Amino acid sequence: MSLKIPALNSADSAGEVEVSEDVFGKDYNEALIHQLAMKTLAGQRSGTKAQKNRSAVSGGGAKPWKQKGAGRARSGTIRSPLWRSGGVTFAAQPRSFDQKLNKKMYRAGIRSILSELLRQKRLSVSLDIIPKSPKTKELVSKLKGLEGGRILIVTDELDENIYLSSRNVAKLEVTTASELDAVMLIAAENVIATPAALKAIEAQLL
């Protein structure tokens, strides 16, 4: 069976696109969507924080003073965490925060989000959302009536005109079908896709 994605401009019913119910007609799975969103956010963390432990601090090869008779507490190395400029106890090291989620669950989660967006009438298609010139004014005019919420535009490939014209528009994000993720979809109040982008998403998720 097939469903229809409504056109951005309701007067242009010819712009509607038929899509598969296997992708855009799934039930809402909150637990899976939450897991998918957490994986996406975790993967965006840089994980580059680094501190020096006692083995990474320079110097300290020799014992600072003899064990007894110096009148001071015994010490074996200036690299000790007790010393100023010494190593850090349990020092942070570069790491990956990425979480494992198999492809079947990932696709099911994206299908569930897209289906819910369609049910809530927050997903639409536009034949001419990409401006003919890199002018912000032209793009804003195409989005008339959608002010007040975050907008996500999905294209099959990143066009220079839409990239340049969207940079100064608040609460507007542009991405391609291949780079689409769960957090982008959840955060958007309205998602607008080109027909080619919808077909590309459908092909990825079937």
Residues 67-96: what's their mean pLDDT? 94
Contacts of 158 (CB under 8 A, 6+ apart): 174, 176
Whether residue 91 has pLDDT greater than 90: yes
Residue with token string 């959608």: 146
Q: What is the pLDDT of residue 80?
A: 94
Whether 182 contacts 40, CB under 8 Å: yes
DSSP 70: S
- Count helices and strands (H / E) in the chain: 7, 6
**pLDDT confidence tier of residue 206, bands split at 50, 70 and 90:** confident
Rounded CA separation 84/68 (Å): 22
DSSP 20: E
Residues 97-117: what's their mean pLDDT? 94
- The two structure tokens encoding residue 50: 């680094």
- The two structure tokens encoding residue 54: 């006692």
DSSP 74: -
Going by their DSSP bridges, the two strands 2-5 and 17-20 should be labelled as antiparallel
- Where does residue 151 rank: exposed (0-12), middle (13-18), buried (19+ CB within 10 A)? buried
**pLDDT confidence tier of residue 87, bands split at 50, 70 and 90:** very high
Residues 13-37: what's their mean pLDDT? 87
Angle of helix 195-205 versus helix 103-119 axis, rounded to 10: 140
Rounded CA separation 181/185 (Å): 7
pTM: 0.81
CATH number of this structure's domain 2-46+98-205, picked from the four choices 3.40.50.720, 3.40.1370.10, 3.40.50.970, 3.90.1170.50: 3.40.1370.10
Q: What is the pLDDT of residue 13?
A: 54
Rounded CA separation 84/60 (Å): 12
pLDDT digits (tens, 9 = 90+) for 144-170: 877 778 999 999 988 899 999 999 888
Return the CA Rg of the chain. 27
> Per mean pLDDT, which range of 23-32, 92-101, 126-135, 175-184 is the poorest?
126-135
Whether 80 contacts 86, CB under 8 Å: yes
Whether residue 7 has pLDDT greater than 90: no
- The two structure tokens encoding residue 202: 């459908």
Q: What is the pLDDT of residue 188?
A: 93
Domain layout of the chain by residue ranges:
2-46+98-205, 50-93
Residues 159-184: what's their mean pLDDT? 91
Rounded CA separation 149/54 (Å): 51
